[in-house]
Amino acid sequence: MEKNIATFEEYKKEYDKSVTNPEVFWEEKARNFIWRRKWDNILSWDFTKAEIKWFEGGKLNITENCLDRHLEKIGNQTAIKWIANNPSEKSKSISYKELHLEVCKFSNVLKNNGAKKGDRICIYMPMVPELAIAVLACARIGAIHSVVFAGFSAKSLSDRINDASCTILITADGSFRGEKVIPLKNISDEAMDSTPSVKRCIVLERTKSKINMQKIRDVWWHNEMKKADEDCSIEMMNSEDPLFILYTSGSTGKPKGIQHSIAGYMIYTEFSFRNVFQYSEGDIYWCTADIGWITGHSYILYGPLLSGATTMMFEGVPSYPDSGRFWKIIEDNNVNIFYTAPTAIRALEAKGMEFVKPYDLSSLKVLGTVGEPINEDAWHWYNKEIGNRNAPIVDTWWQTETGGIMISNLAGVTPGKPTFATLPLPGIQPCLVDEQGNEIKGNSVKGRLCIKYPWPAMARSIYGNHERFKNTYFNAFKNKYFTGDGCLRDENGMYRITGRVDDVLIVSGHNLGTAEIESAIDQHKNVCETAIVGYPHPIKGNGIYAYVICHKKPKNKDALRIEINELLTKEVGPIAKADKILFVSCLPKTRSGKIMRRILRKIAEGETENLGDTSTLLDPAIVEEIKKLVQ
């Protein structure tokens, strides 16, 4: 394994090298892996066509690098330490050897069930070790995994399955989350009513809930595993073959299947994992995300396993059986590196110190946050009460599309600053641009955050819609990848992400499209039009504020609010519930018919006086009406 960057001077040297000669820089990193054939060409790219290729000509398999190559040296070390939802259920430690064996067996299960290289396989599972096994088995046989977060509804699941024409769905009978059991197989059944491409559904037994198994289509995980061979050689893959698809929200209703390819993603997740968290051999690392999001893909599975780390996986929720659960898990397992989201930090802070005090958190060396800007107050609480002012906090800015952490301090090596993601990782060239796309140079400036040079883990396409990929990320500003985030650079060149500048809302660290939520609400028979905006929420970061126009004046507004939220739960998932719903008779629109969200946002934030320029509104009286309704 390569050495981590150890000092600020070394970081600056590496950064300079990575910018002056990116290809030499990344080629050095690539040499740390097992390749079955060496690459011919390090990088070719053309942002105007949204074409990026790294290490073309190379052949490899990412699971050989995650598993096989560790067997000799650390085969008996724990690869995955799993903690059950219910504290009375025993945790599980799975060594690299055992994980390798299970992945090989499940790879054969997939093959026995008709899976081939290039097939898309949907995974809709609880946070159990079998989820990790399923993901890695797909990668081993060259199938493209599409993990769908197990909190999504049947409709969201079937949309995602259909978008990629998945042939296999891997799920479980149910999932434990706190006190609740989520009926994953029933939800899957409902989804599979409208997914003709799915030929097989592999079902893991987890909750022992009563479920229906459809003959031929549905098979049990444990039965298939019994029949499966223990040996499975790797499928030889090209560097640029897709590794996975992961859906994220966009500014239209249809989610985007962000597509990542194998080699670049592998090199970058390993490099960023080790350096940002300053992972060293033997560390116990815990990221609380769900594998259904990119954080789980890159920093529960691939990054840590590629680095030979012990990665923890937690099935439950932070509030069960009480709000001390995270801290108890840290004490019980001597966690050294802990990575979570600002929304969780704020929620746990609000519960009070009596849930933190009982636990010994002295094993913690590094703390991390991801998903949204962390506010100053939560940062200080995390630093003082959890880290005992002794564990550097890495504030990691990145996106589903970037594949790995882009802007972050390196724990204890480069300086941190509350609410700032700070400096770019080596190989990352951020820049700020104004609305016309002119680069804003110098320090103490604000603008839209772009990246001007390719990095290995960047997304390669939107599944089945390369045109949309090009338009969303590469058309806004010439020769730049546009992140959709607003950003400032302080007097020392440190970056602070200020939030989205487009129609994407970050709610509890989850990316939700306003259009997706609006079109779900619009399906209610009494709803004629909806506009969604975010507003500051003490725990979730952003709350969802819905302005709804009804066909008929609602008789019982609260009952309608409940119906709308039920609809959102069904169509998008419980994470999309609206916090506030205001019934209005009209929405403020420009002469060209565009909703002026800027005004709705201000009103949602409680501002009624300084609404800015309203002169381009078709009918300014509407604003007065809405203002009255909220007063």
The stretch among 209-217, 232-240, 390-398, 608-616 that binds ligand WT7 (CB under 6 A) is 390-398
Q: How far is the CB of 251 from ligand WT7 (least distance, A)?
A: 13
Could you tell me which stretch among 23-31, 91-99, 233-241, 479-487 binds ligand WT7 (CB under 6 A)?
479-487
Provide the b/e sequence for 577-593 (b: ≥16 CB within 10 Å).
bbbebbbbeebbbeeee
Least distance (Å) from ligand WT7 to the CB of residue 496? Answer: 8
* Binding test (CB under 6 A) with ligand WT7, winner from 149, 279, 397, 473: 397
Provide, rounded to whole angstroms, the least separation between the CB of residue 342 and ligand WT7.
Answer: 8
Q: Which amino acid is at 308?
A: G
State yes or no: residue 340 binds ligand WT7 (CB under 6 A). no
Collapsing DSSP to helix, strand or coil, 510 comes out as strand
- Cβ nearer to ligand WT7, comparing 308 with 373: 373
Stretch that binds ligand WT7, among 27-35, 392-400, 440-448, 541-549 (CB under 6 A): 392-400
Check: CB of residue 72 under 8 Å from CB of residue 87: no
Whether a cis peptide bond, with omega within 30° of 0, leads into 321 is: yes
The site map against ligand WT7 for 402-441 (x = CB under 6 A) is -------------------x--------------------
Beta bridge partners of 92: 82
Stretch that binds ligand WT7, among 46-54, 64-72, 440-448, 481-489 (CB under 6 A): 481-489
The DSSP string of 325-384 is: HHHHHHHHHT-SEEEE-HHHHHHHHHH-GGGTTTS--TT--EEEEESSPPPHHHHHHIII
Nearest to ligand WT7 of 75, 418 (CB atom) = 418
Beta-bridge partners for 529:
549
Residue placing its CB nearer to ligand WT7 in the complex, 292 or 308? 292
Query: Considering only residues 253-312, where is the footprint of ligand WT7 by CB under 6 A?
Result: 294-295
Name 510's bridge partners.
Answer: 507
Alpha carbon distance 49, 23 (integer Å) = 20
420 and 465 in contact (C-beta within 8 Å)? no
Tokens of 470: 């090009």
Do you know the residue count of the chain? 631
Choice from 146, 461, 483, 542 touching ligand WT7 (CB under 6 A): 483
What's the rounded Cα separation, in Å, for the pair 414 and 424?
11
As a whole number of angstroms, the distance between CA 472 and CA 466 comes to 10
Residue among 175 and 399 whose Cβ is closer to ligand WT7: 399
Cα separation, 299 vs 626, whole angstroms: 44
Q: Which is nearer to ligand WT7, 413 or 487 (CB)?
A: 487
Give the x/- contact pattern for ligand WT7 in 494-523, rule: CB under 6 A. Answer: ---x--x-----x----x------------
Near ligand WT7 by CB under 6 A: residue from 95, 107, 288, 400: 400
Among 183, 318, 484, 543, binds ligand WT7 (CB under 6 A): 484
User: What is the closest distance, in whole angstroms, from the C-beta atom of residue 245 to ligand WT7 in the complex?
Assistant: 14
Place of tokens 């997304």: 459
Q: Distances from the Cα of 480 to the Cαs of 45, 471, 616, in angstroms?
A: 12, 12, 31
The single residue listed with the structure tokens 């073959």 is 241
Residues sharing a CB contact under 8 Å with residue 606, sequence separation 6 or more, in sequence order = 535
Is there binding between residue 203 and ligand WT7 (CB under 6 A)? no
At closest approach, how far in Å is the CB of 370 from ligand WT7? 5
Q: Which of 141, 184, 337, 370: binder of ligand WT7 (CB under 6 A)?
A: 370
Indicate which single residue of 396, 508, 530, 542 sits in contact with ligand WT7 (rule: CB under 6 A).
396
Q: Which residue is nearest to ligand WT7 (CB)?
A: 511
Q: Which of 318, 373, 456, 534 binds ligand WT7 (CB under 6 A)?
A: 373
Nearer to ligand WT7, 278 or 400 (CB): 400
Q: Binder to ligand WT7 among 163, 395, 503, 571 (CB under 6 A)? A: 395
What residues have CB less than 8 Å from 261, skipping those under 6 apart?
54, 239, 240, 241, 242, 243, 460
Check residue 371 for interaction with ligand WT7 (CB under 6 A): yes
Helices (H), 165-261: 184-192, 221-227
Judged by the rule CB under 6 A, the positions of this chain that interact with ligand WT7 are 248, 294-295, 370-373, 395-400, 421, 483-485, 497, 500, 506, 511
